Amino acid sequence: MPLKADRQRALATLLRTRQVSSQARILEHLRIQGFDATQATVSRDLDDLGAVKVRGPAGRLVYALPEPGNGSGAGHDEVRRMLGASLLAIVPSGNLVVLRTPPGHAGALASTLDRAGVAGVAGTVAGDDTVLVVCTERTPGRVMARQLASLAVTPPALPEPYRGATA
């Protein structure tokens, strides 16, 4: 079996079982297991695995893997959970929607939305506490904002003009 596959399998196991906050710590764990890797290699592996930094239970940023879905990306329940757990505000603008999250949560939310293949979403861009949702050409941001708010377990307040509006 190729070394890369073994290393990535070990890395995935590590991220599912430990709260690791830095690539240096990942390197230490991999070296203990007999893998000789560089920081650049670990960075590529994290990208290949879809790892993102999220707030761990202790409040610090840690690497995490996307939850496994049914093979076709994130499921409806996962989207609802992520939106309910991390969505603070929604601001539509043209064919864009800005989603505000607590610090460190934007990457996981964006990854979930991308993997879910939400109808009308062309893609997302994430910062630390903000996700930019780019809607498809025929999907207005205000419609997507209402759709995402309705998916959230605890929907955030929309700006005044969008409360109670219908699509």
- What crossing angle do the helices spanning 3-17 and 23-32 adopt, rounded to 10°? 120
What pLDDT is stored for residue 66 in this prediction? 66
What pLDDT is stored for residue 163 in this prediction? 46
Phi, psi at residue 3, to the nearest 5°? -60, -40
Report pTM: 0.53
Task: For the chain, give the longest Cα–Cα distance.
Answer: 58
What pLDDT is stored for residue 166 in this prediction? 46
What pLDDT is stored for residue 131 in this prediction? 96
What pLDDT is stored for residue 4 in this prediction? 86
| pLDDT per residue of the chain (167 residues) written in tens, 0 to 9 | 458 888 988 998 998 888 898 999 999 999 999 998 999 999 888 877 777 777 777 778 888 876 554 344 556 677 888 888 888 999 999 999 999 999 988 998 998 888 887 778 899 999 999 999 999 888 899 989 988 888 886 545 555 555 444 44
Phi, psi at residue 153, to the nearest 5°? -60, -45
Beta strands in 16-118 (DSSP E): 52-55, 61-64, 89-93, 96-100
Question: Coil, strand, or helix at residue 92?
Answer: strand
Its sign, for the CA torsion 27, 29, 31, 33, is negative
What does the block give as tokens for 131? 């996700």
CB environment 7-20: b (16+ within 10 A), e (fewer): bbebbeebbeeeeb
Distance CA 103, CA 114 (A): 19
Q: What angle do CA 15, 19, 20 make, to 5 degrees?
A: 75
